Amino acid sequence: MKVSLVVPCLNEAENLPRLFAEVDAMAASWAGDLEVILVDDGSRDQTPSLIKAQAEKDARYRAIIFRRNFGQTAAMVAGFDHASGDVVVPLDADLQNDPADVPRLLAEIDKGFDVVSGWRKHRQDRLFSRRFPSVIANRIIARVGGVAIHDYGCTLKAYRKSVLENVHLYGEMHRFIPIHAAWAGAKITEIVVNHRPRAGGVSHYGMDRVFKVLLDLMTVQLLGNYATKPIYFFGFYGFWLSFFGGAAGLAVVGIKLANVHWQHTFSLGLLAAFLLLLGVQSIMMGLLAELQVRTYHESQHKPIYLVRETVGTQRALGPSAAKVSG
């Protein structure tokens, strides 16, 4: 089994020498084929020169230098695209992930799992600014995404490369890879990994990440449940908006016919018109989304299913079989 370590780097010059030493020590104790892909995400310190020097010195290392900062998701995707291993393991460059945990993740892969997620159970971060928001976010993500793991934010995970081939990431969706993998039928497990305080450099995360996670989660929910049937999403809200708009309209008509003087009748009529228009617009958006989904799948020959394996010899249908199947 060949393993590819993918290490996104952003202004981590202080940590890289120790990271290289720890990765080399892990590789020396593990009898497997290893490559390390270092991706510089537009660093402004000595990170690019350090990873280039390491790649020139050690054939196991490869360096990818971005023209500018594209974000952690883009850096991870670049590493995935260039990885040649059967298993891909992302690893933070800030030394908070322990490279010594990589063989433990691979042991779970050997047991037949497709994704092994690291769980920073004893996290070495500030309580209120990092750990507490992370616990809340992870519970929400697990509930909405349907994959019961404790730590979506932990970069240290192991993925079979065959699973990642069916995962397409945009924006900052790297933390939701286990959910995408679950959609592809992956077997997922979780183990506790070591987590250490940041050795050097500055953290690149702030409280604004909480809002980004919630927005990304809405996207994941829409893509996961309604990617091939968007009319159900838009039509659901369109139906109820139209229903309440119609009910409000009937109430206005009833008030007029009963000759009841109510000071809010005009406002109720405006609300009825607004809800009806919004409901019809939502249904129309669903129909347009249906056309786009069909165009996307048919123009690019995208299947709406994924096959794990097939057993048996393929046989052409004869006239009688074709008649029965029709």
* CATH code of the domain in which 44 resides: 3.90.550.10
Same domain for 89 and 157: yes
216-271 confidence digits (pLDDT tens): 777 777 777 777 788 888 899 999 999 999 999 999 999 888 888 888 888 999 99
CA distances, 254 to each of 143, 247, 251, 262 (Å): 44, 10, 5, 12
Domain that holds residue 267: 230-299
Same domain for 196 and 96: yes
- Percentage, residues of the chain above pLDDT 70: 86
Contacts of 99 (CB under 8 A, 6+ apart): 5, 19, 22, 23, 25, 26, 91
Same domain for 238 and 104: no
Last residue of one domain, picked from the residues 175, 199, 226: 226
Q: How far apart are CA 151 and CA 146, in angstroms?
A: 14
Same domain for 159 and 112: yes
15-34 confidence digits (pLDDT tens): 999 999 999 999 998 888 99
Closest to 93 (Cα-Cα) out of 172, 203, 169, 174: 203
Same domain for 63 and 172: yes
Say if strands 61-65 and 87-90 run parallel, antiparallel, or are unpaired: unpaired
- The number of domains in the chain is 2
CA distances, 282 to each of 102, 270, 271 (Å): 48, 18, 16
In this structure, which amino acid lies at residue 303?
P
Same domain for 25 and 132: yes
> What is the chain's Cα-based Rg?
26
Same domain for 42 and 30: yes
Same domain for 234 and 204: no
Confidence of residue 146 (pLDDT cuts 50, 70, 90): confident
Same domain for 148 and 247: no
Say if strands 61-65 and 2-9 run parallel, antiparallel, or are unpaired: unpaired
Same domain for 246 and 222: no
Q: How far apart are CA 176 and CA 216, in angstroms?
A: 9
Q: pTM value?
A: 0.72
